[in-house]
Each structure stands twice: as structure tokens, then as C-alpha cells.
Chain A
Amino acid sequence: TQLLEQSPQFLSIQEGENLTVYCNSSSVFSSLQWYRQEPGEGPVLLVTVVTGGEVKKLKRLTFQFGDARKDSSLHITAAQPGDTGLYLCMTTDSWGKLQFGAGTQVVVTP
């Protein structure tokens, strides 16, 4: 079983629509990172959330860390084709090991 459960696995939307992807766990985390992986590239860090209830914005992307620090969400407003990619959440477990979710594949069509 994965420490981090991401949903949905796949999301296909039209340009201009909004979308939300989720990263959930039964464990409490001190921090959580979101990465985006574009086709043919390695994952790249988007944001780190640390405080329960924290909300961070990166242009049209809004990241939220749950109050209990067990879950996080990524909301994209008015999605564009450039938002297409695999979105991964990552944390460090209690043994100090990096743990990734399986990812949400987002496809935004013009």
C-alpha cells in the first residue's frame, strides 16, 4: 500500500476549465511537496507546504495543506494546455525516506 494516495489517476479537461487533484494519507506529515512532470522530462518542484491549513498560490495553481496535515490538494483555475503533465505529491516518512504518490495524469486539450 502506498503512503500517499493520489486521485484521480487521470483527468482530461478542456482549456479554460478548472480541476482539482488530491493527495491523501492516514499519516501526519511535517511537510509535503508537489511536483509536475512534463512529457519527456523529470519531475520539477512546484511548491512545498508545511503548516496545517496553509494555502499557497502559484499563478493559476492553488495548493492547500489539510488542517490535520494528512492531505493536500492542488487546484488549477482556467487550465491551459501547458498545464498538461503528471502531478506528483511527495513527503518524507517517519524513517526519513522519500515517498511519492502514484501521480495524477492531467491532459488539457485546446
Chain B
Amino acid sequence: NAGVTQTPKFQVLKTGQSMTLQCAQDMNHNSMYWYRQDPGMGLRLIYYSASEGTTDKGEVPNGYNVSRLNKREFSLRLESAAPSQTSVYFCASSARGLGGNTIYFGEGSWLTVV
């Protein structure tokens, strides 16, 4: 089972360059998320999409844009990368069940901005 697939796995950017992280899920989930994870900071929500066609800012949205292309895909774009955006990025999707939300993560994208 593919689950949540994100690309690229690793990327090095120069300050000011732009790039898009791609994410797709095959579990028919309505909700999708982009997190960044930094040492000592835990998982911080960048943007989320509760359903196709909607996106909302999370805790740390500055410097990022997102697109919910369809129900499967949710991309994250860095328009002008900054060293502060060096991080590990996780895409995720969630399903709500009797036990509350369960979130499924991709394997992560390691981004370095030099």
C-alpha cells in the first residue's frame, strides 16, 4: 500500500530559489496537511486542507503556499527559499473514526537552504 507519498526525498536549494514539494495519498482522505519538523520544536503545522478546494493556514505559514489540486494531491511551494526553511517536511492525511483522528504521514522531505 502506497499511503502518503511525497517527493523529493532530499533537496538542496540556494537562498531565493523556489521549489514545490509534491504529496499524494491514495486513501481517499478528505484532510491533508503539511508539517515541518525541527530539532526541539516538534511537528509544526504549516498549512492544511480540510477538503478538496479548501486550504487554511497553520502555525507557521509564512514563506509557503499550498495547492489542493484534487482530493489526492496537496503540494507545498516555497517561492523564495530562506535558510530558516531548512527543515524536514512531512505531508500527511487523516481519517476520522470512532477513536478520533488518525493521521498518516509520508516519509519526509529533507530540505537544505544554503
Real complex partners, A and B? yes
A residues near B, CB below 8 A? Answer: 2, 30-33, 35, 40-45, 48-50, 88, 90-92, 97-98, 100-103
Stretch of B11-19, B61-69, B105-113 that contacts chain A? B105-113
Q: Beyond the given A42-B4, A42-B92, A43-B90, please list 13 additional residue pairs across the A-B interface where CB-CB is below 8 A.
A: A31-B99, A33-B99, A33-B101, A33-B102, A35-B103, A40-B107, A40-B108, A42-B107, A43-B43, A44-B105, A45-B104, A98-B101, A101-B42
How far is A42 from B45 in the complex, measured between Cα atoms in Å? 14
Interface size class of B (residues with CB under 8 A): 20 to 34
How far is A48 from B42 in the complex, measured between Cα atoms in Å? 20
How far is A42 from B33 in the complex, measured between Cα atoms in Å? 13
Query: Residues of B contacting A33 with CB < 8 Å?
Result: 99-103
Given contacts A40-B108, A42-B92, A103-B42, contact A48 B99 (CB under 8 A): yes
Say what secondary structure dominates the interface of chain B.
strand
Is B75 in contact with chain A by the CB < 8 A criterion? no
Smallest Cβ distance from A104 to chain B, in angstroms?
11
How far is A83 from B94 in the complex, measured between Cα atoms in Å? 25
Interface centre among B41, B43, B45, B108 (most CB of A within 10 A): B43
Is B98 in contact with chain A by the CB < 8 A criterion? yes
Query: Residues of A contacting B103 with CB < 8 Å?
Result: 33, 35, 43, 45, 90, 98
Residue on B nearest A4 in the bound complex, by CB: B42
Query: Residues of B contacting A97 with CB < 8 Å?
Result: 45
Smallest Cβ distance from A33 to chain B, in angstroms?
7
- Nearest 7 Cβ contacts at the A-B interface: A42-B105, A31-B100, A48-B99, A102-B42, A100-B43, A31-B99, A50-B99
